[in-house]
Amino acid sequence: MTTLLKVARSCAAALLGLSSACFAQDAAPAKPLRPASLYDFYSELNVVDTAMSPSGRFIAAIVRRDEDDVLVVLDLSSGKREVVQRVGWEEAGKGLLLRMVNVHWKSDERVLLRLRVRPEDVRNFFTVSETKISKLGDRMFAIDRANGKAVALLGENRNAALEGAFNLGAIGSFLPNDPQHVLMVVDGFNGASLFKVNIETGRGEQLERPSENVQAWWLDVEGTPVVRISESNGTQKLYRKDAEKKWRLFYKRRIKETDEDSEYEHAGASNQPGKHYLLARPPGRDRVGLYLYDLDKEEFGEPLVEHPSYDLQSASIARDGSRILNYCYMAHVRICESTDPKEAAHLRGLRKYFEESANVYVYDSAEDGKSFLLLVEGPHDPPAYYYYQTEKRDIQQVGSSRKRLDEVARPSASVITWKARDGKEISGYLTLPVGAAADASKLPLVVHPHGGPEARDYLKFDRWVQYFASRGYAVLQPNFRGSAGFGKAFAASGYGEWGRAMQDDITDGVRMLIEKGAVDASRMCIVGASYGGYASLVGVALTPELYKCAVSIAGVTDLDDFISWRKRNWGSDSE
C-alpha cells in the first residue's frame, strides 16, 4: 500500500471518549511523557472491549468510568456516538461488583452484551452468602441498538442443565443464516450443554443434553453440532455423528501430549458440507498450517496456508464459512495476512504504519472486508483499539485499553540473535531502559526466561518487562531451544534438555551481551515464572558467577514430583 494512512499516531484522544474526540486529521501537541509507576501498568481499564457491526457502519465499545460501565455505539457514517446501556458497579448489591466484559454484534440492529458479577474482594468468593451466590457469574443480554431495550438470554429458562451454570455468557455460534437465534454453550453442575436461544425473547431450546466430560463442539454454519469433544483421565476424545446420528469416536490424544500425533484446533466451519477449517500439524509436517478438513473421510489434504518458518497461531473464517478472512503467525511480532491480495496489501500497510514493531490484531471486521477493527500493542505501544477503512485508507483510534499508559515514557526493544555453544541459532529480545540510547553500554540486566517451556516470547507490551525497563534495567527474553512457534523440530530439540542445552542457550545469550559491552556483568539478575522460575533457580545453581539474585515465581522445584503429577493428570505414558 503506497498511499499514506491518515491521522497521526500520537492522537491519543478516543473517538469513543465521552469528553473528547479525535476526528481531526492532526493530533494535538503531545504532552511530555512521565516516568511509569507500577500502578500505571495495573490501573483500571478504560476501553474494555469493542466490536464492529456486520456492515462495518457501527462500532460498539464498553467504556469504563469511575463508578460505572457504559456501552457506547459509534455510527461511523455520521460520527454520532450514543450511550446505549449503563451499569453501576454496585448495582448487584453490597459486597458484589457488576461489570461489562464483552460485546458482540448479532446484526446491525442487535448487540450482545456480556455482564459479570463477582465478589468485590475475590478472596471472599467461597464465603459469599447463599442469597448472593445466585447472582455470581456471567450473563448475556441482547440489546436493541435503537432503544437500548435489553433481553436476558436464557433468563427465563428452567432446565436442569442450567443448575450451577455460573457462565451464561458463552456464544457457540452467531448463526449467520438465522437472524433470530444464537447458540450458547452452558456448563453447569451436570456438564456442558448446547442451547439455541431466541434473541428477542431470551428463551432457549436445548440441542445437546449435558454430559460431565463434554468440553465443546464443532458446529457447521447452520449451528448443527457435528463433532463433540470430551476430556477425561488425561485424554481428549473427538466424536462425530455416524449415519444413525449416534456419536462415534474417531480421534483421541493425550492432553498436551501430541508429540506423535496430529494437532487439532477448530478454526471455523466451511460452507462446503462436511468440511471444516483446522489449524493442525498432521503427521509428517513440521509446522502448524491451515487445512480444510474432510470430516467424512477424516482427511486433511494439502495445507491451504503454511508458513515456511513459523507455526500459524490463528485464523479467522467468515461467519458463513465462505472464505478465510485472515490468518496469523508470530514472527517477532504478530503478522496477520490474507488470501485476498487487496486485503493483504492493506494489512502490510497497517504493519508499516506501526513501524513493524507492534502486534496488529484484526480484532473484528465488516463482512465485506472493507473495514477492520484493530487491537494494536507492542513494546512501545500500550494496547489500544483502532478502526481502518480500506476505501478511505484512513485509520482512527477508538480508545486506549488503559489511558494512563498513554502518559508514560516507554522503552525500546529489538530482536537479537546468537549462536549457542553447539552452533544452534537462538533468538530473543533485548529491551533497553527508558531513555537509553541504542548503543548504551554497561546496563544492569534482568534475564527473563519464559514459562512453558513449550511457549515463546515475542515483541509485545509485557507489563513485567515494561516495569523492569522503567526502573532502569535492560531485559533479555530468550527463545531457547524447546520454545514453541518455530516448528516441531525446534520444539523437540529441547526435549530432555531441562537444565542442560536449554539453560546453556540462556547463558550463552547473557555472555554474548557481556562480550559486546551492552550489559554490566556485575549487575545481573534472573527472574521467571513456572518453567522460567525453574530456569532462574538452575541459572544461579549452575552459573552462580553470573547473577547477583534470582527470583522464581511458581517455579518447578521437584522434578520427580512434577513428573508424577503429569502422569496422574495427563496419563501414565507422560515422560
Longest dimension (CA), the chain: 71
The terminus-to-terminus CA distance of the chain in angstroms comes to 50
Name the nearest CA neighbour of 5 among 396, 399, 398: 396
Q: Is the predicted pLDDT of residue 4 greater than 50, yes or no?
A: no
How does pLDDT run across 482-504, given as a tens digit for each residue?
A: 999 888 899 999 999 999 999 99
The SS3 assignment for 115 reads: strand
**How much is the pLDDT for 574?**
43
Closest by CA to 268, choosing from 297, 289, 291, is 291
Residue 15 has pLDDT above 60, yes or no: no
Measuring CA to CA, which residue among 7, 101, 94, 36 is closest to residue 63?
A: 101
Is residue 213 classed exposed, middle or buried when 0-12, 13-18 and 19+ CB atoms within 10 A define those classes?
Answer: middle
Looking at residue 545, its pLDDT comes to 96
Q: Determine the Cα–Cα distance for residues 488 and 372; give it in Å rounded to an integer.
A: 33
Contacts of 209 (CB under 8 A, 6+ apart): 161, 193
Average pLDDT, the chain: 88
Q: What is the structure's pLDDT at 206?
A: 92
Residue with cell 491451515: 290
CA distance 387 to 537: 45
Environment class of 322 (CB within 10 Å of its CB; exposed 0-12, middle 13-18, buried 19+): middle
| 356 CB neighbour count, 10 Å cutoff | 15
pLDDT of residue 155: 85
Give the Cα separation of 524 and 475 in Å (integer).
10
What does the pLDDT look like over 534-563, one tens digit per residue? 999 999 999 999 999 999 999 999 888 988
DSSP code for 2? -
pLDDT at site 570:
67
Q: What is the pLDDT of residue 572?
A: 62
Residue at grid coordinates 450514543: 82
Please report the pLDDT score of residue 29 as a whole number.
57
Contact 361, 334 (CB under 8 A): yes
265 neighbors 315 (Cβ within 8 angstroms): no
Residues 438-467 as b/e (b if ≥16 CB within 10 A, e otherwise) read: eeeeebbbbbbbbbbbbbbbbbbbbbbbbb
Are the C-beta atoms of 359 and 334 separated by less than 8 Å? yes
Grid coordinates given for 489: 523440530
| 41-63 residue pLDDT tens | 999 999 999 999 999 999 999 99
Q: Over 80: is that where the pLDDT of 460 sits?
A: yes
Of 40-44, 168-172, 242-246, minimum mean pLDDT range: 242-246
Residue with the larger pLDDT of the pair 302 and 256: 302
The whole-number pLDDT of residue 13 equals: 39
Q: How far apart are CA 84 and CA 60, in angstroms?
A: 9
HEC secondary structure over 145-177: CCCCCEEECCCCCCCHHHCCCCEECEEEECCCC
Nearest alpha carbon to residue 480 among 459, 458, 449: 449
Cα-based distances in Å from 183 to 49, 58, 171, 221, 509: 21, 23, 6, 11, 50
Q: Report how far residue 227's alpha carbon sits from residue 238's, in angstroms, rounded to the nearest whole number.
A: 7
Higher pLDDT, 33 or 45: 45
| Residue 68 pLDDT | 95
With a CB cutoff of 8 Å and minimum separation 6, the contacts of 159 are 204, 206
Taking 50 as the threshold, does the pLDDT of residue 18 lie above it? no
Torsion of CA 276, 305, 216, 223, to 10 degrees: -40
CB-based contact 219:225 (threshold 8 Å): yes
Q: Which helix (H) or strand (E) holds 490?
A: helix 488-492
Which DSSP symbol is given to 435? T
Which grid coordinates belong to 250?
474417531
pLDDT digits (tens, 9 = 90+) for 361-374: 999 999 888 999 99
Query: Three-state SS string across 245-283, please?
Result: CCEEEEEEEECCECCCCCCEEEEEECCCCCEEEEEECCC
pTM for this predicted structure: 0.87
Contacts of 236 (CB under 8 A, 6+ apart): 215, 229, 230, 252, 253, 254, 255
pLDDT digits (tens, 9 = 90+) for 87-133: 999 998 888 999 999 999 999 999 999 999 998 877 666 666 667 77
